Structure formats: structure tokens, C-alpha cells
Amino acid sequence: MTRDKWAEWLAERRCGGDRAYEAEMLEELAEARDRDLDHAALQAGETLLDVGCGDGLIAFGALERGAALAIFSDISQDLLDRCTALAKERGLAGRSQFALTGADDLSVIADESVDVVTTRSVLIYVERKQTALAEFFRVLRLGGRVSLFEPINRFGADYRREESFWGYPLDGLRPERDKLNAVYERIQPLSDPMLDFDERDLVALCGRTGFAETHLELHVDIEAPKPVRWETWLHASGNPKIPTLAEAMETALTRAEQERVVAHLQPLVEQGEGRHARRSPTSGRRSRTDPARARARAVRPGSGRSA
């Protein structure tokens, strides 16, 4: 089965094809979804637009809470097809709509037609973030809310310049580390949308857009990662645009260099012997794929509830 990179990442590459690891992650993502919907103050009978819906985690959660309508929007037709099939299976098709569109162009959504807009790890892929916020503002009814839950990857970028690799010490393997980092930095340099903003920018974006209220939640954690099976870690990808470590090593390192890296990193990964820095609003998954997060809520001016 051929899938686009977004659907393939969610189905396989996010968890390295490890179903036990995926099940654990989905449990934690469900908790994050519930916090997102609580943060948005979603009420029964409202309409929610889930921007960058992925596999529909937030939108389906909204329908379970009694939303009158959930609009699933994404740039991946494969993911929208998956959500459409799930909505039919769950008897939710009559309360679901689907829109193939990006966050910075929601022209298929009418002005002032939704009560809540949500994102989860979406703006990190959007270069025109201010335009996206303006689109969120446009489609919201008066008093509507936007709930953003975004990784703050800039916080962990300094680790690229330390004697470590994704938080694990390399103890003299700096040449190998630099070659591997170069693979990832060519794809996603510090100017990439995934790395070019932090929580202060989220607040500023909301203010410039015209939201009447903005509320930010932020946690900073520096801690040891959870132990992970080496094969899972080796074949998992941090986001849909970058290679797995196995693919990066095959691209950048000689066979001897690969063997040195594996011999050193494998026991550290499997025993959880590293240090990860995280910025996030709540406790959650500790892994190299989830380094930092921030949650913001903004309210459009009007007579509606301010949450």
C-alpha cells in the first residue's frame, strides 16, 4: 500500500513499526487530546475545526464530547480518507466534514463558522504562521477560541552543538555525530519552520492577529529518557520530513563508523542513560521525538464565552 509521507509517518515511521511502543504513545496522546479539548473549553453542540487533523485524534475526541460538528482538515488526502472511513465505522459521518487544505489557507471554510480551532504539532510545519493565525481568526465566530499545542524545538536546538546526540553522550564520537547532524540540518536547518519560533512568538502571533485574550501554559523538564528498544529507536523518525537514524547512518557513515555508533548508543538507549531537555505545558512522553511543547489558548473578541 502506497501512502504519502504524512500518513506513512503516522502509520509506521513515528514508532519504528513497534506496535507496543505505538500503543503506549497513543495512550499518552489521548491524555494530551483531553487536555487540549479542556483547554479549548469545548461545549456540547459547538463546531470544532481540527487543523492538521492527522488521524483525527482531536476531532473524534470532540465528537465524543458532544460537538455538533467536527471539521477534519489536513494536507494529506490519505489521512482524510482514513478519517472518513473511521467516521463511517463509528457512526459519526453525519457530524463530520473533511477539507483538503493547509493551515495557512482555509478558504474552503466559511467566515465565522466554527467555535473552536485546534492544532497539535501543526504550526511547526507552517512557514506562514501569521497567515495561519489570521485564517483561524477569520473562521472563528465571535467569542470563539483557538487552542494551540505545539513543540518548541528551538529550546533543544543547542544540543546540536554539545558533545551529545539527541541527549545521549557520545564520548569521543564527535566526527560521527557531526556527520549525522549534518544530514538532519540539511533538511531542517535552524531557519526551518520547525525551529524558528518559541512560546513567546506564539503569544506575539496571537496578539498581532487581534485575539482579545491569550493564555499560555509552559513546562520545562530536563530529565532522563525512558528506556526504548534499540530497533524501535533506530527505525523511528522524529517527524515526517527527516530520515530515521538507520537511514541517516547509511547515508553519512562508513560501515566502521556505523558499528562504533551502534556499539556506543545501543546500551544507552535501552537503559535510558541520557539527558533530554523539554519545554512543555504538561508531563508527557519523554523521547527524542518529543523534545518540547507549549500550549496557548486565544479568544476572538465578541460577546461569546471567554473560556
- State the average pLDDT over residues 268-283: 62
Is 307 a domain residue?
no
pTM equals: 0.89
pLDDT digits (tens, 9 = 90+) for 50-73: 999 999 999 999 999 999 999 999
Exposed, middle or buried, 13 (CB in 10 Å: 0-12/13-18/19+)?
Answer: buried
Is 304 a domain residue?
no
Q: Which of 7, 10, 37 is nearest to 25 (CA)?
A: 10
- Residue 307: pLDDT band (50, 70, 90) is very low
Q: Taking the C-alpha atoms of 19, 87, 143 and 294 in order, what is their torsion angle to the nearest 10 degrees?
A: 10
Grid coordinates representing 135?
A: 485564517
Half-sphere exposure of 246 (CA within 13 A, CB side): 10
CB distance 111 to 138 below 8 Å: yes
pLDDT at 145 over 80: yes
d(C-alpha 23, C-alpha 238), whole Å: 17
Cα dist from 105 to 75, 82, 108, 211, whole Å: 11, 22, 8, 19
Is 75 a domain residue?
yes
Task: Look up the CATH number of the domain holding residue 201.
Answer: 3.40.50.150
At residue 217, the 3 state secondary structure works out as strand
- Residue 282: pLDDT band (50, 70, 90) is very low
- State the average pLDDT over residues 296-303: 79
Q: Which residue has the cell 482531536?
A: 58
Is 306 a domain residue?
no
Between 137 and 297, the higher pLDDT residue: 137
Is 179 a domain residue?
yes
Q: Which domain holds residue 94?
A: 5-299
Is 116 a domain residue?
yes
pLDDT digits (tens, 9 = 90+) for 111-129: 999 999 999 999 999 999 9
Return all residues near 288 (Cβ < 8 A) that are at least 6 apart: 166, 167, 225, 233, 238, 276
- Per the prediction, the chain carries an average pLDDT of 88
The count of domains in the chain is 1
Strands (E), 88-212: 96-100, 114-120, 140-150, 164-165, 168-169
Is 110 a domain residue?
yes
CB distance 297 to 146 below 8 Å: yes
At residue 226, the pLDDT reads 85
Is 10 a domain residue?
yes
